[in-house]
Amino acid sequence: MSGRGRVRVEDTPKRVRVQLGGVFVADSTAVLMVWEKPYYPTYYFPHDDVRMDLLAPTGDTYRSPSRGTADIHTVKVGGAEAADAARVWNDVKIEELAGFVSFNWSAMDHWYEEDEEVYVHARDPYTRVDVLQSSRHIEVFVAGTKVADTTKPRLLFETGLPVRYYMPKTDVVMELLTPTDSVTHCPYKGSANYWSISVDEGTVDDIVWGYTAPLAESADVAGFVSFYNERVDIYVDGELETKPKTVFS
């Protein structure tokens, strides 16, 4: 592991591939994980493991105070094109990044770690998800109305986030819930669907979510629903939980 300032760089033993237009643009077992942001890494590929013939220089450059300068390229595969999606690092401030290429995750079609597709962003090896069956008594209130009451919750512990209480739908007043069109994606849990809650005091949008087909590490919450601790009143074994302060507050 090495780095400069707040940027961390580590090797990974994973084979990582990125695809556009049905073609693997990069395929490597010598990828670097670079924490450009503190929350998750970005994959950097050696030149030799990138289809450089599919990269067209735009003439523009990207400058990072901590990492150096990269030439911006558009990725072109047949009729598929990802504009400004590749950065070829040519003048680096972190020695390990010399001769590497990074890609805009969302601009590419598919990403794979080994043979499993990964969504949203690269998974942080220091983020862990644990789902534990519990017998704690969980009660959820919205504007004074009890909307859930269970002694069979499944507690999801995820690094950096408050514990989430997942409850069987049979212990939730589902007639107060209305499904919405909102969907979010998580590289550790999968795709979540949302509900709004309507009580006498009004409607609170997208406050409940659940995973119909979560990823393997979160499989035990399939078919359960959870509430934003930040926005409802939750009693745990009769004690009112302090609302956590997060980006969802």
The per-residue pLDDT for 200 is 87
Say yes or no to pLDDT of 79 above 80.
Answer: yes
pLDDT tens-digit readout, 136-147: 999 999 999 999
* Residue 50 neighbours by CB distance under 10 Å: 24
For the chain, the average pLDDT equals 94
* pTM score of the predicted model: 0.84
DSSP-based three-state secondary structure for 232? coil
Choose one of 95, 118, 141: the last residue of a domain. Answer: 118
Choose one of 118, 137, 152: the last residue of a domain. Answer: 118
The per-residue pLDDT for 246 is 85
Q: Do 97 and 162 have their domain in common?
A: no
Q: Which string of DSSP letters, residue by residue, matches 103-140?
A: E-GGGSSEEEETTEEE-SSPPPTT--EEEEE----EEE
Domain annotation covers residue 124: no
Domain annotation covers residue 246: no
Say which residues have a Cβ less than 8 Å from residue 16's Cβ, sequence separation at least 6: 26, 27, 28, 31, 43, 45, 111, 112, 113
Choose one of 70, 90, 118: the last residue of a domain. Answer: 118
Q: Do 11 and 110 have their domain in common?
A: yes
**CATH code for position 110:** 2.170.150.40
Domain annotation covers residue 248: no
Domain range holding 228?
129-240
Q: Do 88 and 140 have their domain in common?
A: no
Q: Do 233 and 151 have their domain in common?
A: yes
Domains of the chain: total: 2
Say yes or no to pLDDT of 3 above 70.
Answer: no
Domain annotation covers residue 182: yes
Residue 240 burial class via C-beta count within 10 angstroms: exposed 0-12, middle 13-18, buried 19 and up: exposed
The per-residue pLDDT for 4 is 45
Q: How far apart are the first and last CA of the chain?
A: 34
Q: Do 84 and 141 have their domain in common?
A: no
pLDDT tens-digit readout, 16-44: 999 999 999 999 999 999 999 888 999 99
